[in-house]
Structure 1
Amino acid sequence: MGNEYRAKVFKSGNSVALRLPKALGFSEGDDVIVVPHDDGSFSLWRSEEGADVLLSLYGSVSEGFMADGHGDIEQMPRDWSAGDGDAAAA
């Protein structure tokens, strides 16, 4: 890992905001994607770097990942004959 930085959370209107150190390289007005993880941590990056982040994940999954298939995701059969063609209403 790299350097460790501390950030400050503060109230901004009816929201909370995170003040990031300038050393992280973000600028005022940067569009940022924040992804929360199940363990309570977060990942963030500039939105224009989204493709780079996605490509960096390629190969980070273990070789045996999903070797046994998708697991227990069986779905009930669907009756496609019913309805008026409006998929949103289903």
Structure 2
Amino acid sequence: MGNEYRAKVFKSGNSVALRLPKGMGFSEGDDVVIAPHEDGSFSLWRESEGAQVLMRLYGSVSEGFMADGRGDTRADIRDWNARPGAAAA
């Protein structure tokens, strides 16, 4: 794990804000993506680095990931001859 940084949340108008330490490498005007996680933590990265973040996540998937399928979906039978926009029977 890299360096640990601490910051304080403060009120800014009708919002709350987080001032990031300069050592984190963000610059004024950077567009940042903030992704909340179910456990209450979050990740953030520069919007311009989205493709690199995706590739790091893809590379972190274990070899057997989804070997048995998703297990939560089923494929519906579709009538591919139906008119576009027509309700399914």
- TM-score of the superposed pair, with normalisation by structure 1: 0.79
Say what the alpha-carbon RMSD is for the aligned residues: 2.2
The share of aligned pairs that are identical, in percent, is: 75
- Which secondary structure does the structure 2 equivalent of 1:73 belong to? coil
Give the aligned residue type for 1:39.
D
Structure 2 gap segments, 5+ residues each: none
Q: CA 1:77–1:22 in structure 2 vs 1: closer, same or farther (change >3 Å)?
A: same
1:72 maps onto 2:72 in alignment: yes
Give the aligned residue type for 1:6.
R
TM-superposed CA distance for 1:59, in Å, is 2.2
- TM-score of the superposed pair, with normalisation by structure 2: 0.80
Aligned to 1:37: 37
The number of residue pairs the alignment matches comes to 85
Aligned structure 1 segments of 4 or more residues deviating by more than 3 angstroms:
75-82
